[in-house]
Amino acid sequence: MELRTLRYFVAVAEELHFARAAERLRIAAPSLSQQIKSLEASLGTPLFVRDRRHVELTAAGRMLLPDAREILELAARAQRRVAGATGPLRVGYVSWLPEQLTASAAVDVRVDEWIMPSHVQIARVLDGGLDAAIAWAGSRDERLDFRLLWPEPLLAVTPAGRTETTVPARKLRVLVDADLTSWQAWNDFATEFAEATGARLVHIDDGGIAGVAFHDRALRLNAPVLMSPKRHFDRLPASLRTRPVVDPCPLWCWSLVTRTNDERESIVALREHASNVIRPAASRTAPIPPIWLPSADPHRDEFRSAA
Amino acid sequence: MELRTLRYFVAVAEELHFARAAERLRIAAPSLSQQIKSLEASLGTPLFVRDRRHVELTAAGRMLLPDAREILELAARAQRRVAGATGPLRVGYVSWLPEQLTASAAVDVRVDEWIMPSHVQIARVLDGGLDAAIAWAGSRDERLDFRLLWPEPLLAVTPAGRTETTVPARKLRVLVDADLTSWQAWNDFATEFAEATGARLVHIDDGGIAGVAFHDRALRLNAPVLMSPKRHFDRLPASLRTRPVVDPCPLWCWSLVTRTNDERESIVALREHASNVIRPAASRTAPIPPIWLPSADPHRDEFRSAA
DNA sequence: CGCCCTTACGGATTTCGTAAGAATC
DNA sequence: GATTCTTACGAAATCCGTAAGGGCG
C-alpha cells in the first residue's frame, strides 16, 4: 500500500469507472486496472465488484475510502508545511496588521497578500498555507498556539444626533450575515454576545457587516449598532458617530496563531516578539470594565481578574 | 513522497544514523541514502544535516516527523481495518458476554480470546483489531457507534452480619487502583461516582478491584464496598453478602461498540440484533431509582425520564 | 459494433545492492 | 585505520503503455 495506489483507489472509487479514473490520473486504463488489482491482492480482499457494466465498491472498499482520503489529505498538508519551512515566514492577517510585525529585524516576515476572514486564515495555518496568522480565534485547538496581541474593545456607531458618550450593550443592534464563508467568525462572536447581553440580533444577507453597506444599514436602523473589527477605507459619514460600548465591553482578541508543533527558531522568535513587543504596544485603548469575551475564547483566562 | 520513503525518513530520524536505520529497514545503506536524498529533493528542502560524524534533523525535518508518524499510523490502521473486513466479525468483551450474541445465526461472530478492560477494547475497535466490543464507554466519540446492551445496576458487598437489605451510595467505600492500564475505565467511573454521592474513595495498588484480593480488602474494611462489574470465578466468602445500592443506584452501561463508518451488512445486522434481541433479554434486574450515570456517558439521554 | 474492463507483453523508470570514494576522528 | 555517509554502476523489480481479448447491450 503506497500513497500512489491510494490515489488511484480514490479516483476509481469516485468515478466508479476505470476509464474515466485513468484519464483523470493521466495513466492508461490497463495500468490502473493492474494497480488496483495489486492493491486488492496486498490487502487480501477485493475493493470493487466489477459487473461487466458497472463498477461498485465492496464493503471493504467503503471502509477504506474515508481512511484513504484522510491519509492523502494528511500527506498533502505535511508536504505543504514542509515546503514552507524554508524562506521567510508567511503571515496572514484579517484586518489589523501591527506595524511592529515587520519592523523587527529579528524575524524575516512576508505578509500574505490574501486578506481573508479569521476562520479561513486559521485553517490556512493548519494546513501549512501560512506559517502564522493574526486573527480572532473562536476556541482553543491543541494543534495551534495562540498569543494575545490586542484585545480590541469593539465600538458602536450611533446617529450623530444622540448625546450619550457610551452605549450599553443591551441597547445595541448586532448584525449577522447569511454568508458564512465571509462572516462565520463574526457571526459566532456576535450571536453569543447578543445572547449574553440582550442585544438585538439583526439577520442580513448583503454583506453589510462592514464598509459602506454597514453605514447604510446603521443609518436606516436609526439605532446604535455594534461595529465589527473589520477595517474599511470608507470614512464614516458625518451623520454617524463612534462610541465605546459598556456593560459589558466586548473584546475582540487578536491572536498570533501558529502551529503548536512548529518550533523553528524563527517561529519561536516571532512568538516572543508578539508577547514582548507587539502586545505592550497595542494596549493603548483600554476597555471600560466590565468586559466580555466569548465563553470559548482561548484568552479568556488572561482576563479572569478583570471580568 | 510515498509511504515507503516516509518509513525510511522516520527510521533515520529515530536512529539519527544511516547505517543502523538501513539495518532496521533491511536495505543497504547507500539505497537509504539515495531515497532520503530524493525525498529531500522532492520536498525542496533538506531534512537532515549530515555533519561527517553526526546526523541531525533540520527544522523542516522536525516539522515533518510528527506528520510522517501520523500518516504511517493511519495507513497501518486502515490496513488492519480492511484486512478484517472479510470473514467472521471479531468481537471482544470485558466481563459480560450475552448468550444471545453467538446464538443468532444471522451474524457470524468470533469472540476474541483476549479479555481486556473497556478502554483497551474500545481502542482495539478504533484501530481495527476488533470489529466490535462489548464494553463500558466513558464518553461519546464521533468515530464510534454505541448501542446500549445492558445498564447493569452495580452491587455492594457488606459484612454478613449487617441486616440492611440495601446500601445507600453515600455509605459506600469505592476502590480505585493505581494501575491505570487495567483499571482506567473503572477509576473514571468510580471517581465521579464518589464525588457525586459522597461515597468514600479508597486508593489501592494491588489490583484488588476484583477477585480474591477484593474480598480480602472488603473484609478488612469491614464496611460496604462497591463491586466493580468485573466477573470472577471465585465464590463470595460466606462472611460477605451482596446488596443493591440505592440513593442513587449506579448504572454501568454495557454497550456494543462499533465503528461509525463501518456499515457492512454484518455490522448493521449485529447492531440491530443488539437493540432488538440482546437489550430486551438483558433487562431483568431493574435498578431501584433514583439511578446514576457518569456525566459523559453516551447513554445518559436514554435515561432522562428515570433520572 | 461500441463500451469497458481485462490480459499479454515489451519498454521505461525506479529501486536496490555491491564496490569504491571521501571525510572525520 | 576505523567509522560513516556518499557516489557509481549494474541488476532486479516495479510501473506504465500499446495491442489485443471477451462479455454485454
Where do the domains of chain B lie, and which CATH numbers do they carry? 3-82 (1.10.10.10), 87-151+253-287 (3.40.190.10), 152-250 (3.40.190)
Quick check: A74 and B82 CB within 8 A? no
Is the distance from CB of B209 to CB of B175 less than 8 angstroms? yes
Q: Note the CA–C1' distance, B39 to C18, in angstroms.
A: 23
Nearest nucleotide to B29 (CA to C1') is D5
SS (HEC) of chain A: CCHHHHHHHHHHHHHCCHHHHHHHHCCCHHHHHHHHHHHHHHHCCCCEEECCCCEEECHHHHHHHHHHHHHHHHHHHHHHHHHCCCCCEEEEECCCCCCHHHHCCCCCEEECCCCCCHHHHHHHHHCCCCCEEEEECCCCCCCEEEEEEEEEECEEEEECCCCCCCEEHHHCEEEEECCHHHHHHHHHHHHHHHHHHCCEEEEECCCCCCCHHHHHHHHHHCCCEECCCCCCCCCCCCCEEEEEEECCEEEEEEEEEEECCCCCHHHHHHHHHHHHHHHHHCCCCCCCCCEECCCCCCCHHHHCCCC
Is the distance from CB of A40 to CB of A58 less than 8 angstroms? no
**pLDDT on residue A307:** 47
Mean per-residue pLDDT of chain B: 91
Quick check: A82 and B64 CB within 8 A? yes
**pLDDT on residue B103:** 77
Q: Give the mean model confidence (pLDDT) for residues A5-19.
A: 95
What protein residues sit with their CB closer than 7 Å to strand D?
A: A 2, 4-5, 26-31, 34-35, 38, 52-53; B 17-19, 29-30, 33-34, 36-37, 50, 52-53, 55
Q: What are phi and psi of B149, to 5 degrees?
A: -105, -45
**pLDDT on residue A305:** 65
Q: How does DSSP classify residue B236? A: P
Is the distance from CB of B75 to CB of A4 less than 8 angstroms? no
Residue with smallest Cα–C1' gap to D5: B52
- State whether the beta carbon of B235 lies below 7 angstroms from any atom of strand C: no
Between vectors from CA A281 to CA A279 and to CA A287, what angle results, nearest 5°?
80
Quick check: A82 and B62 CB within 8 A? no
Q: How confident is the model at residue B53 (pLDDT cuts 50, 70, 90)?
A: confident
Cell of A143: 494543534
Quick check: B264 and A67 CB within 8 A? no
Quick check: B75 and A1 CB within 8 A? yes
Residue B166 reports pLDDT greater than 90: yes
pTM assigned to the model: 0.77
Chain C bases near protein Cβ (<7 Å): 4-9, 15-20, 23-25
**pLDDT on residue B264:** 84
Chain D bases near protein Cβ (<7 Å): 4-9, 15-20, 22-25
Q: How many angstroms from the chain centroid is the CA of residue B240?
A: 31
Q: Give the mean model confidence (pLDDT) for residues B282-299.
A: 89
**pLDDT on residue A218:** 92
Residue A190 reports pLDDT greater than 60: yes
Q: Give the mean model confidence (pLDDT) for residues B125-135.
A: 94
Closest among A72, A102, A293, A52 to A193, alpha carbons compared: A293
pLDDT digit string, tens, across residues A64-111: 999 999 999 999 999 999 988 888 899 999 999 998 888 776 788 999
**pLDDT on residue B102:** 83
Q: Give the mean model confidence (pLDDT) for residues B75-99.
A: 90
SS3 content of chain B, % helix, strand, coil (to 5): 40, 20, 35
**pLDDT on residue A163:** 82
A191: left (phi over 0), alpha (psi -120 to 50) or beta: alpha
Q: How confident is the model at residue A16 (pLDDT cuts 50, 70, 90)?
A: very high
Q: How confident is the model at residue B115 (pLDDT cuts 50, 70, 90)?
A: very high
Closest among B11, B42, B78, B12 to A1, alpha carbons compared: B78
Residue B307 reports pLDDT greater than 70: no
In terms of average pLDDT, the best of A87-101, A223-237, B92-106, B242-256 is B242-256
**pLDDT on residue B38:** 94
Q: How far apart are CA A253 and CA A174, in angstroms?
A: 18
Residue B232 reports pLDDT greater than 90: no
